[in-house]
Amino acid sequence: GAVVSQHPSRVICKSGTSVKIECRSLDFQATTMFWYRQFPKQSLMLMATSNEGSKATYEQGVEKDKFLINHASLTLSTLTVTSAHPEDSSFYICSAKNRDRPSNTFGSGTRLTVV
Amino acid sequence: KQEVTQIPAALSVPEGENLVLNCSFTDSAIYNLQWFRQDPGKGLTSLLLIQSSQREQTSGRLNASLDKSSGRSTLYIAASQPGDSATYLCAVSLGQAGTALIFGKGTTLSVSS
């Protein structure tokens, strides 16, 4: 139990285009979803926190107009990277809060490459 | 501001050796601490979770300890195997269960056969 499905696992897009990443909780309701980003040889850094039905809270330095987060249902949260640039190339991973467990459940991550 | 540091950044050992990975954090007011494994290009696998009131947790060949007052945790891997090769991440949670985590940069372990 407690599985978060994240898609796509890898995506290559052209500079200036938008990319949507989905995280879906398969067997529990994810009231809160955390989105992290990991640059090579760096730690995972929290980008934003989204609660179902409300606006996401972004960490300092993360552009909310560039990284659009939607958490319209208790089982689906999406992160859209708008007007992607090569510097947005990174590993993005979501983590869902499960009220029945002491720890959050992570997705498998998305490797984004912007060319 | 909470900061998590992991030492060493990389470690290479021959198969069969016992090893220790270190994690330190600057703010001792943590809710829990987790150790994760990350394989190249993959997501995270949770290995052990230690609540702030606990001193250690064990799972198979893995043992994690926590000294909250000194801001330190160690992950002990016994009888290492090539399949243990991966990056090991330490993360702390400041709030109640289910809050976001603050991660270290990880220790990349390579076990040679």
* A102 touches B: beta carbon within 8 Å: yes
> What average pLDDT does range B12-20 have in this prediction?
97
Where is average pLDDT lowest: A86-95, B31-40, B91-100, B101-110? B91-100
Q: Which residue has the higher pLDDT, B97 or A37?
A: A37
> What average pLDDT does range B19-28 have in this prediction?
96
User: What pLDDT score does B97 carry?
Assistant: 62
* B34 touches A: beta carbon within 8 Å: yes
User: What pLDDT score does B104 carry?
Assistant: 96
* A44 touches B: beta carbon within 8 Å: yes
**Per-chain mean pLDDT for chain B:** 94
Q: Residue B98 pLDDT > 70, yes or no? A: no
B37 half-sphere exposure, CB direction, 13 A CA radius: 13
CB-CB under 8 Å, A43 with B4 = yes
* B76 touches A: beta carbon within 8 Å: no
User: What pLDDT score does A104 carry?
Assistant: 87
Q: Show residues of chain B in contact with A69, CB under 8 Å.
A: none
* pLDDT tens per residue across all 115 residues of chain A: 688 999 999 999 999 999 999 999 998 888 899 999 999 888 899 999 998 888 899 999 999 999 999 998 889 999 999 999 999 999 999 999 887 777 889 999 999 999 9
* DSSP state letters, A49-106: EEETTS--EEPTT--TTTEEEEEEETTEEEEEE-S--GGG-EEEEEEE--TTSSS-EE
Count the residues in chain A.
Answer: 115
> Considering chain B, what percentage of its residues have pLDDT values greater than 70?
97
CB-CB under 8 Å, B97 with A102 = yes
User: What pLDDT score does A10 carry?
Assistant: 96
CB-CB under 8 Å, B46 with A42 = no
User: What pLDDT score does A101 carry?
Assistant: 76
* Token reading at A28: 């529990």
Distance between CA atoms of residues A11 and A110, nearest Å: 7
Residues A7 and A108: beta-carbon distance below 8 Å: no
Candidate from A44, A102, A111 with C-beta closest to B103: A44
Count the residues in chain B.
Answer: 113
User: What pLDDT score does A102 carry?
Assistant: 76
* A80 touches B: beta carbon within 8 Å: no
